[in-house]
Amino acid sequence: EAVSRKIKSLYNANIDPERIIIMPGGKPTMHYAISFFGEPDAEIIYPDPGFPIYESMINYTGAKAVPYNILERKDFSINPDKILPLINEKTRLIILNNPNNPTGGFTEKTIIDKLARGLAKFPHVAILTDEIYSRLIFDKKEIPTLLNYPELYDRLIVLDGWSKTYAMTGWRLGWGVWPENLIEHVFKFCVNNHSCVNTAAQYGAITALDGPEDHLNDMMKEFTIRRKLIVDGLRSLKGVECSLPGGSFFVFPNVKGTGMDGEEFTERCLQKAGVAMIPGTAFGKFATNHVRFSFATSRENISKAIEKIDKILK
C-alpha cells in the first residue's frame, strides 16, 4: 500500500496494491521474471553492457540471450530502431534498464514513447523494466517510467526499490509491479524461496517512502558535484574519453586511446596505482574498451584516484 501511494504521488499512476510484491532486493524480481519466460527455444532481449544478472539468468533458463548494444549512442541511451528489429516470434521478454548500469546512460521520454509505440505491435512480448535508479537522474530530469503506459500493463513488470533512492542497500528491499495474471505464480516462487521479507525492515521501508526527501535532494546535489569532478578528471587523462552520465552514480569511460583495453587498464590501475574499477567486459561482450567507475565515494577519493591514474599513464 505504501508503494502504491508513492507511485501515485510520483507518477500519478493508479497501481492496485495487489499487483505490488515486496522482495528481498531487486534480484528476485529479475530472477522470477526471467524464469517465467525463459526456456529452451525462447529468446530474451537484454541490454549489453548491462547488469550481469540479466544474461546469466537468461542462460540459466536455457533461453537464447539476445543483446542490444547500448554503446551505439554516445550518451548510452536506448535506441528503439536497434531494439525492435530484434523481436521475432520466439521473443518472450525484453529487458530495459533506465538509467542504465553500468553506463549511467539516461533515456528521455520522447525515445521511450517511440519504444512503447513499437512494442504495441508485439503483444506476445513481455517487458521487464529495471528502474532501480529512477530517482537518481541529473539536470532536474525525471524518469519516463513505463508505469505511464497503461496499455502495456497486462505484460509489464516494473522493478524498483529502496537501495539507491534511500541508500538502503544492506536492508535488501525491493518491489515489483506485476501483471495480474502473474501474481499467483510470483507468490508460489516467494513461498518456496524466501517466504517473506523481514517485517522490521518493511516498517523501515514504509517510513522511508512516507517521510520527507530532503536526503535525496542533498544526495543529488553532492552527486552532481562528484559527477563533474570525475568526468572532468577522466577527460584530462591521456587517451581516456568519457561521456557525461545522465543518471545513476557511474561513469563508463572508453580507455582505448591509452593503448590498453578495459581489462588491461583495470589491472594496471589496480596494481600500479591502487585504484579499483570494473572492466566493461564484466557487463557484456561489447564493452571491451570501457571501464566502470563509481562516484559514490568522497570528492577526496575521486581526486586522489585521478591523480594516481594520471601518474601511471605519463
- For residue 8, give every residue at least 6 positions away whose Cβ sits within 8 Å of its Cβ, in sequence order, or none: 14, 15
Q: In the chain, what are the domains?
A: 2-210 (3.40.640.10), 214-313 (3.90.1150.10)
| Packed helices 199-210 and 2-11: angle between N→C axes, nearest 10 degrees | 30
179-226 per-position pLDDT tens digit: 999 999 999 999 999 999 999 999 999 999 999 999 999 999 999 999
Q: Does residue 125 have a pLDDT over 90?
A: yes
Mean pLDDT computed over 217-240 = 97
Per-position DSSP letters for 112-163, written without gaps between them: HHHHHHHHTT-TT-EEEEE-TTTT-BSTT-----GGG-GGGGGGEEEEEEST
Give the per-residue pLDDT at 260. Answer: 98
> Do residues 59 and 81 lie in contact, with contact meaning Cβ atoms separated by under 8 Å?
no
Instruction: Give percent above pLDDT 70 in the chain.
Output: 100
Mean pLDDT computed over 57-61 = 98
The confidence band for 314, taking pLDDT boundaries of 50, 70 and 90, is confident
Q: How far is it, in rounded angstroms, from Cα 54 to Cα 38?
A: 11
> Do residues 20 and 175 lie in contact, with contact meaning Cβ atoms separated by under 8 Å?
yes
Q: Is 252 helix (H, G, I), strand (E, B) or coil?
A: coil
Grid cell 588491461 in the structure block, residue? 264
Which amino acid, one-letter code, is at 178? Answer: W
245-303 per-position pLDDT tens digit: 999 999 999 999 999 999 999 999 999 999 999 999 999 999 999 999 999 999 999 99
